[in-house]
Amino acid sequence: MKATCKAHLFVLILITSFRAEAIAPEAVFGESGMVATRSALASQVGADILAKGGNAIDAAVATGFALAVTYPSAGNLAGGGFMVIRLADGTIIANDHRERAPLAATRNMYLDKDGNVVPELSTHSHLAVGVPGTVDGLLDVLEKYGTMSRREVLAPATLLARRGFPIDLDMARDLEAQLPRMSKYPASMAIFSHDGKPWKRGDVLRQKDLAATLERIRAKGRDGFYKGQTAELLVAEMQAGGGLIAQQDLDEYQSVWREPVTGTYRDHQIISMPPPSSGGVLLIQLLNMLEPYDLKAMGFGSADAVHHMVEAERRAYADRAEHLGDPDFFPVPITKLIDKNYALARFADFAPDKSSRSTDIRPGSFPAESPDTTHASFIDKAGNAVAYTTTLNLSYGSKIVASGTGMLLNNEMDDFSAKPDTPNAYGLLGREANAIQPRKRMLSSMTPTIVAKDGKVVLVTGSPGGSTIITTTLQVIVNVIDHGMDLSAAVASPRFHHQWQPDAIIFEKNGLSPDTVKVLNQRGHQGLTPWAYGRGIGDANSVMVLPEGFAGMADPRNPGAALAP
């Protein structure tokens, strides 16, 4: 089957007693680099940048700005994200442009007088908005490691916003579903509806206010967003709606360069995002717990393989609730959590024939991180690789457009722990490490990851999906390394997820055979539930290095494209 950017088929599963295999579109091949994203238009922007001689960093930045236009559900200017970079010379770096809590934020700001969490205050109100980081982060990355000018990389996004683009069926349906939430925000309805009625497939979405905001960034860089007209409009929106972001918050915001977390798994180097994302730490911890076991011999989709992975996930997510937060505010024990000996000790009570109970699993102790995020992967012909995950948190964030800017605002404040052991929108628990504090970055699950072997990049991957991001990334890596899958199968194969609390295994429809489900039930696993949200678990747009070039795969669960320059 010849792959094109339109070849997006749902996964078909052939089920046997202990194995499930995916039939998926063939991965795209290229000789001079590769881009894979959720948006075909944004992927084209990145591929064009590579074709013009830009490197993977230039392509990632240009694509990041384009996603704010073509994929407004998660692409953004007023959100945040994480970028992991491996340069061709082996240098590894990570840029943290996660949002921060405003200076006026307080620990109990989402609780009522009785100490109970007020529904939707941290997700659908002006108080839900964290200080945006995307623009500062992308510009910082471009300045340090890009080769093209700010005007060059921002030109495609600005043009797409100004001229518009035809809405496809996927976006039309998505926007129609959001209109009830947006209806009380006139600036949102002015863009994302057609005079109050849903946009239809084929209608052209033009975003003149967003184009003007992008043009100010092109002209003035950081000051075109965090100062001047855009900043004034954002602060005015906060004041009008009872939000907390003030000009001082914007003045103080800076992205942070961090050292990636690294580990090894079966002779491969794993390079991923450190806190305030929990993704990289948990990914390496999970791989450390699984490394002593022969997952390949167990077989993909078998009860044994699923049992081992679920038990590892149960323990890692318990540690997440206790130990993970913003390292600038809390002493996160990263070195201990990713230590192989700690993983062995953590898994010492594992029983190969019996499920644990999450109520019996406690976080490890020793001395003293939406379904509507989006991930993009990049590699250029020189071998520079970028894994980039960005988000507004929930789909279309807070649903609020800052009047006059065209920008949807995030609702990332929900990723803090509003109250100890109280689930957020993704059912994740948190404690003191992730309590609300001014200037603090909220914990994330984003897991942009690069896998290398023998000094060369093998795989660039990651995913959206809230709490399922980490387990999706884990499964893509295990599919490649343990099960020897090519990129197409590794990305398309069915997925499952466990996160300690609630004590349940969710799995994609037909993702586990009836025999596997039966065996897992016999071992005491509970809450085995088919995934009911959207088209499946995750959206792992990935690229892989082959002996003869590069493979790219847009996750077939959703529209998107992998494109070569």
The answer on pLDDT for 100 being more than 80 is yes
Q: Is residue 534 part of a domain?
A: no
Q: How far apart are CA 245 and CA 409, in angstroms?
A: 11
Q: Quote the pLDDT of residue 423.
A: 54
Q: Quote the pLDDT of residue 9.
A: 28
**How confident is the model over 41-75, as pLDDT tens digits?**
999 999 999 999 999 999 999 999 999 999 999 99
Q: Provide the pLDDT confidence category of residue 307 given band limits of 50, 70 and 90.
A: very high
The answer on pLDDT for 355 being more than 80 is no
Which one of 123, 373, 389, 471 is the catalytic residue?
373
Q: Is residue 262 part of a domain?
A: no
**How confident is the model over 356-405, as pLDDT tens digits?**
665 555 444 433 334 578 999 999 999 999 999 999 998 999 999 999 99
Q: How far apart are CA 511 and CA 517, in angstroms?
A: 10
Q: Quote the pLDDT of residue 5.
A: 33
The β-bridge relationship of strands 165-166 and 385-391 is unpaired
Q: Provide the pLDDT confidence category of residue 97 given band limits of 50, 70 and 90.
A: very high
> Which region among 17-21, 456-460, 481-485 has the lowest average model confidence (pLDDT)?
17-21
Q: Is residue 386 part of a domain?
A: yes
Other Cβ atoms less than 10 A from the Cβ of 198: the count is 16
The answer on pLDDT for 434 being more than 90 is no
The answer on pLDDT for 327 being more than 80 is yes
Q: Quote the pLDDT of residue 352.
A: 87
Q: Provide the pLDDT confidence category of residue 2 given band limits of 50, 70 and 90.
A: very low
176 touches 203 (CB < 8 A): no
Choose between 133 and 19: higher pLDDT. Answer: 133
Q: Is residue 55 part of a domain?
A: yes
pTM for the whole structure: 0.91
Q: How far apart are CA 364 and CA 379, in angstroms?
A: 37
What average pLDDT does the segment 488-506 reach?
89
If phi > 0 it is left, if psi is from -120 to 50 it is alpha, else beta; for residue 220 that is alpha
Instruction: Give the neighbor-by-neighbor strand order of the sheet with 449-453.
Output: 28-30, 549-553, 542-546, 456-461, 449-453, 268-272, 261-265
Q: Quote the pLDDT of residue 370.
A: 44
**How confident is the model over 259-275, as pLDDT tens digits?**
999 999 999 999 999 99
Strands (E), 454-560: 456-461, 496-497, 506-507, 529-530, 542-546, 549-553
Q: How far apart are CA 378 and CA 376, in angstroms?
A: 7
Q: Quote the pLDDT of residue 23.
A: 57
47 touches 379 (CB < 8 A): no
The answer on pLDDT for 330 being more than 80 is yes
Q: How far apart are CA 258 and CA 61, in angstroms?
A: 18
Q: Quote the pLDDT of residue 339.
A: 96
Q: Quote the pLDDT of residue 474.
A: 97
> Which region among 176-190, 251-265, 429-443, 549-563 has the lowest average model confidence (pLDDT)?
429-443
Residues in the chain: 565
Q: How far apart are CA 356 and CA 470, in angstroms?
A: 20
b/e string for 524-553 if b means 16 or more Cβ within 10 A?
ebeebeebeeebbbbbbbbbbbeeeebbbb
Percent of the chain whose predicted confidence (pLDDT) is above 90: 78
Q: Quote the pLDDT of residue 422.
A: 56
Give how far Cα 534 sits from Cα of 219, 371, 385, 446, 486, Å.
39, 9, 30, 19, 25
Q: And the tokens for 51?
A: 């074709």
Q: Which residue, 438, 116, 447, 38, is CA-closest to 272?
A: 447
Which residue type sits at 167?
I
Q: How far apart are CA 247 and CA 496, in angstroms?
A: 43
52 touches 45 (CB < 8 A): no
The answer on pLDDT for 13 being more than 60 is no
What average pLDDT does the segment 433-455 reach?
93
User: 373 an active-site residue?
Assistant: yes
Q: Quote the pLDDT of residue 432.
A: 73
What average pLDDT does the segment 508-530 reach?
89
Q: Is residue 294 part of a domain?
A: no
> Which region among 15-19, 321-325, 355-359, 525-529 has the lowest average model confidence (pLDDT)?
15-19
Q: Quote the pLDDT of residue 359.
A: 56
Distance separating the N- and C-terminal Cα atoms of the chain: 21
Q: What domain range is 92 assigned to?
A: 26-257+373-434
Which residue type sits at 531?
W
Q: Is residue 16 part of a domain?
A: no
Q: Quote the pLDDT of residue 1.
A: 33
Query: How many structural domains does the chain have?
Result: 1
Q: Is residue 176 part of a domain?
A: yes
Q: How far apart are CA 561 and CA 170, in angstroms?
A: 14
What average pLDDT does the segment 160-188 reach?
96
Mean of pLDDT over the chain: 90
Q: Is residue 235 part of a domain?
A: yes
